[in-house]
């Protein structure tokens, strides 16, 4: 049994009353008696839903956090009511339509999924499609019927049904494209109900101008009729482009190979160990100012052993030229012991 409700709190009390089989406004003693009867029927182990219903009717449940079982059952029940309301949406008078919508929204506030669907339906609360149905142009009336049918469906059902309705215009794409344009201009508010279908119908015009088969280029949910279809490239041009790319790649590879060969260092010469003493003799004969170490000498022994003479050389002092006032050269120091 269901009871009339205006808010979500009334929905909770109605759900609990259905479980305990009492009225939502039953006195506390009656609620206790119904609960004890169910406890006895369940062998003193009542279901969780019975306990939650007793807590709701006795005020022991937190309204901000309703029980999970209650939320699940209420969403299933209200989903059916919302679907029924959506199916009768445009057949209901405009004043009653808005009143019924507000009532369902008050009862579905904690349920996000139902709340979002009711928000979508708000766009068509004040639109009367009956006037468009009686229009002189049959295609405009058919477009209004399509828009109203798609507007009240769920997203997944709306997408499938939109594709089915779109295929009806395959035989006369130009006429449907023009009709969609006139529908936007003449019934701007009704066109907002289903802009996606109108966008796709208007896209037929480009397909007809390009001479393409209807439905082969402009399938999809997005409007792609704002640009003509691309012209395919010629076969000869693609072949020439391919050979040109191969030629450029070959040149690059050739340059890389040449750079790799020029950067290589020449191989080291083979040195004979017997030539080392002779090379050292030639090094000794070089002038001293060739290097910054003029006093070092190499000595090569007869057996081929190379020795380095580290005795520093005796550098003679600079002698002033003889003349007036010139100091006489110093006498050489005697060598040996005094």
Whole-angstrom CA distances from 38 to 20, 94, 162, 182, 192 are 8, 46, 51, 65, 54
Determine the pLDDT at residue 149: 93
Q: From the CB of residue 212, how many other CB atoms can be counted at a distance below 10 Å?
A: 15
Which stretches of the chain drop beneath a pLDDT of 70? 1-6, 133-136, 204-242, 259-338
Determine the pLDDT at residue 300: 56
Q: From the CB of residue 299, how many other CB atoms can be counted at a distance below 10 Å?
A: 12
The tally of CA atoms less than 13 A away on the side-chain side of residue 279 is 6
Q: What is the DSSP string of 166-215?
A: HGGGSS-HHHHHHHHHHHHHH-HHHHGGGHHHHHHHHTHHHHHHHTPPTT
Residues 6 or more apart whose CB falls under 8 angstroms from that of 190 comprise 127, 129, 132, 144, 147, 183
Q: What is the DSSP string of 250-262?
A: HHHHHHHHHHHHH
Q: Which of 103, 94, 83, 99 is nearest to 189 (CA)?
A: 94
* Beta-bridge partner residues of 298: 308
Determine the pLDDT at residue 42: 84
Determine the pLDDT at residue 148: 92
Determine the pLDDT at residue 131: 78
Query: Could you tell me the end-to-end alpha-carbon distance of the chain, in angstroms, rounded to an integer?
Result: 144
Determine the pLDDT at residue 85: 95
Determine the pLDDT at residue 222: 40
Cα 252-255-258 angle, rounded to 5 deg: 155
SS3 state of residue 307: strand
Measured distance CA(325)–CA(80) in Å, rounded:
135
Output b/e per residue, 271-298; b: 16+ Cβ within 10 A: eeeeeebeebeeeeeeeeeeeeeeeeee
Determine the pLDDT at residue 173: 86
Measured distance CA(244)–CA(208) in Å, rounded:
37
What's the pLDDT tens digit per position in 218-276?
Answer: 444 344 444 444 555 554 555 555 677 787 778 887 777 776 555 555 554 454 556 55
pTM: 0.54
Q: From the CB of residue 69, how many other CB atoms can be counted at a distance below 10 Å?
A: 17
Determine the pLDDT at residue 88: 93
Measured distance CA(44)–CA(46) in Å, rounded:
6
Residue 334 backbone dihedrals phi, psi, to 5 degrees: -70, 145
Instruction: Give the residue carrying structure tokens 């015009």.
Output: 205
Determine the pLDDT at residue 224: 44
Instruction: Give the residue carrying structure tokens 């950067």.
Output: 263
- As to burial, measured by CB atoms within 10 angstroms (0-12 exposed, 13-18 middle, 19+ buried), residue 185 is exposed
Tokens of 123: 């766009």
Measured distance CA(133)–CA(144) in Å, rounded:
7
* Beta-bridge partner residues of 308: 298
């Amino acid at each position: 049994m269901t009871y009339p409700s205006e808010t979500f709190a009334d929905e909770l009390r109605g759900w609990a009353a259905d479980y305990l089989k009492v009225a939502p406004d039953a006195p506390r003693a009656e609620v206790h008696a119904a609960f004890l009867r169910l406890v006895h029927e369940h062998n003193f182990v009542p279901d969780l839903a019975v306990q939650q219903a007793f807590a709701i009717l006795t005020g022991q449940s937190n309204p901000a956090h309703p029980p999970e079982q209650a939320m699940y059952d209420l969403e299933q029940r209200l989903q059916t009511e919302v679907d029924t309301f959506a199916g009768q949406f445009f057949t209901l008078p405009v004043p009653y339509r808005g009143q019924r919508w507000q009532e369902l929204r008050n009862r579905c506030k904690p349920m996000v999924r139902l709340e979002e669907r009711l928000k979508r339906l708000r766009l068509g609360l004040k639109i009367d499609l009956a006037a468009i149905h009686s229009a002189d142009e049959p295609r405009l009336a058919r477009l209004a019927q399509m828009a109203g049918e798609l507007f009240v469906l769920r997203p997944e059902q709306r997408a499938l049904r939109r594709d089915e309705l779109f295929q009806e215009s395959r035989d006369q794409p130009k006429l449907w494209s023009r009709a969609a344009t006139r529908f936007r201009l003449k019934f701007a508010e009704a066109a907002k109900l289903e802009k996606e279908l109108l966008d796709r119908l208007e896209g037929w015009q480009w397909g007809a101008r390009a001479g393409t088969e209807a439905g082969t280029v402009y399938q999809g949910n997005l409007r792609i009729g704002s640009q003509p279809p691309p012209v395919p490239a010629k076969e000869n041009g693609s072949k020439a482009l391919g050979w040109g790319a191969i030629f450029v790649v070959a040149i690059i590879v050739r340059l890389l190979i040449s750079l790799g060969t020029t950067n290589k260092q020449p191989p080291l010469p083979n040195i004979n160990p017997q030539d080392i003493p002779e090379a050292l003799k030639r090094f000794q004969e070089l002038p001293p100012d060739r290097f910054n170490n003029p006093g070092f000498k190499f000595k090569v022994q007869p057996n081929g052993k190379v020795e380095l003479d580290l005795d520093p050389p005796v550098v003679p002092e600079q002698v002033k030229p003889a003349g007036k006032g010139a100091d006489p050269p110093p006498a050489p120091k005697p060598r040996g012991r005094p």
